[in-house]
A and B are shown apart, each in its own frame.
Chain A
């Protein structure tokens, strides 16, 4: 079983839609979760950083962690064409901060 799994998509939505991106993870010891946005051939850009269960909101973005089901989500409200990118979930798997990434979900927001 992969440690972090993510549906690669692609996911295509109209501008203004609410987008839901999801990951599952296998190890209940994971506590911190990150969402990164990656444009083509660029570095991952940190969007959200959460600890344990619950919600965290930042502008149009909400990150949600459900530790009981080992499920993490990123919601994007009022999606814009500029949100078109690959979204990566990641979690540090050791004290060194080594990150394990999901495969990434490619999102296209159509004008």
Chain B
């Protein structure tokens, strides 16, 4: 069964460092997403990506964040200068047709900023 895969599963980084979280969405999906979940809190939308550009972003997704689809399979989230409050689970998701179809999530990357 097709699935969304994310790497690494856990990343520890020092405050101020840049991190890149990687995702391989389901191959025939056209919409890609990043979500964040701080421990004990709800899953929050960060950004959606369609047709090689950002289609929507949340207030959380400020200038320190960027997304890229560098090739036909990978989808990345870069955090330029990490802060302690960026520590969270980051989930990648994909869907075939935006709001008209279900979204499937990866297992997440646990980011710990120290």
Contact = CB atoms under 8 A, between A and B. Distances in A.
Interface of A: 32, 34, 36, 41-46, 49, 88, 90, 92, 94-104
Contacts of B101: 97
B91 interface: yes
Interface of B: 4, 6, 31, 33, 35, 42-45, 48, 50, 55-56, 89, 91, 93, 95, 97-108, 110
A96 B103 contact: no
The 10 closest A-B pairs by CB, nearest first: A92-B99, A97-B98, A43-B105, A96-B48, A49-B102, A101-B43, A96-B56, A43-B107, A96-B55, A97-B99
Determine which residue in A41, A45, A90, A96 has the highest number of CB atoms from chain B within 10 A of its CB, and name it.
Answer: A96
Given A94-B56, A95-B98, A97-B98, A43 B33 contact: no
A46 B33 contact: no
Contacts of B33: 97-99
A10 to B, nearest CB: 13
Nearest to B54: A96
B42 A102 contact: yes
B48 A98 contact: yes
B104 A97 contact: no
B106 A97 contact: no
Contacts of A94: 56, 99
Contact of A97 (B4, B43, B89, B103): B103
8 contacts: A34-B103, A44-B43, A46-B105, A92-B103, A98-B33, A99-B33, A101-B42, A104-B42
